[in-house]
Amino acid sequence: MRAGAPGVPVGYAPPVLVPVSRRPAGLAARGSAVLLSPWFRLSLLAALLAAAATVVAVHEPQRLIAGGGLPGFSGAGAVVFFVAVYGLCTAALVPRPVLNLAAGALFGASLGTVAAVAGTVLGAGIAFGLGRLLGQDALRPLLRGRWLAAGDRQLSRHGFRSMLALRLLPGVPFAVSNYGAAVSRMGWAAFLTATALGCVPNTAAYAVAGSRAATPTSPVFLVAFGFIVVPGLAAALVAWRRRGRLRQAVAAG
């Protein structure tokens, strides 16, 4: 509009419209994309596990619950505290046998078994949830090797049966089975149910041994110790004899 037009004062200049910058919104979008990217979440998972392992190595909470008492807790509160610490410790890669022995020493064979099984399920659920949330999207595209692909198919199609077998077999690393199952497409219900059922025999044996740790020559301790050792040797023998069949199955798959 020209100055001097009807209704417009002389010397009037219309305001210049400056386009609104979209750069902040673009930065926010890119930052959000980075934070939600699979590899960032996987890096976060690795950092969390490293930090948890460092805390465990420095403070050794497993020694707290294996030292013969739980300061400030008694009765049901002691059991709940033990289950919580057990779950966090196993998610932080603390070996379960130490905690199972502590459960038997603290609470006896029966209650110790219940507490250890509850802690096992809690720790497995924490690890499975972290792996599913932070690691699955980044790791699934890497399952290209025959062995990895075969394991993923087995866990995804026969989740309960496969996880039950892994829990019953001694010597299978607890953390490896948790995070491996999280990368697969196994459901929560199958994972937790198989964990709860499959960990009972081995956990009970350790709890019984822990409850009789003061008398290592007693028949009960020796039977429990034998129940720990013999299945492990049998599983190793079976795995060694069937290694050829497993290779054929992987090749066929």
Average pLDDT score, the chain: 76
pLDDT above 70 for 9: no
pTM of the predicted model as reported, rounded to 2 decimal places: 0.71
* Alpha carbons 151 and 250: distance in angstroms, whole number: 9
Reported confidence tier of residue 141, pLDDT bands at 50, 70, 90? low
Q: For residue 194, what pLDDT is reported? A: 94
How far is residue 19 from each of residues 28, 81, 96, measured CA to CA in Å? Answer: 19, 59, 62
Interacting residues of 28 by C-beta distance below 8 A, sequence separation 6+: none
pLDDT above 90 for 239: no
Q: For residue 57, what pLDDT is reported? A: 77
Of residues 205 and 237, more confidently modeled: 205
Q: For residue 100, what pLDDT is reported? A: 92
pLDDT above 90 for 244: no
* Alpha carbons 49 and 241: distance in angstroms, whole number: 35
Give Cα 167 distance to the centre of its chain: 14
Reported confidence tier of residue 193, pLDDT bands at 50, 70, 90? very high
How far is residue 169 from each of residues 48, 116, 195, 229, 234, measured CA to CA in Å? Answer: 28, 17, 12, 12, 9
Which tokens is 117 given? 């099984």
Alpha-helical (H) ranges within 75-218 are: 76-91, 96-107, 109-130, 136-139, 146-157, 159-168, 174-183, 188-198, 200-211
Average the pLDDT over each of 29-33, 116-120, 164-168, 234-238 and give the range with the smallest value: 29-33
Which tokens is 175 given? 């953390």
* Alpha carbons 193 and 246: distance in angstroms, whole number: 26
Q: What is the pLDDT of residues 11-70, one digit of tens each?
A: 655 655 555 445 555 655 565 555 566 777 778 878 888 887 787 777 676 665 555 556
Q: What is the pLDDT of residues 147-180, one digit of tens each?
A: 566 666 777 788 798 889 888 887 778 888 898 8
**In the chain, what percentage of residues exceed pLDDT 90?**
20
* Alpha carbons 197 and 124: distance in angstroms, whole number: 13
Of residues 168 and 137, more confidently modeled: 168
Q: For residue 208, what pLDDT is reported? A: 92
Domain ranges of the chain: 38-247
What's the CA angle centered on 54, arms 52 and 60, to 5 degrees? 90
* Alpha carbons 234 and 221: distance in angstroms, whole number: 20
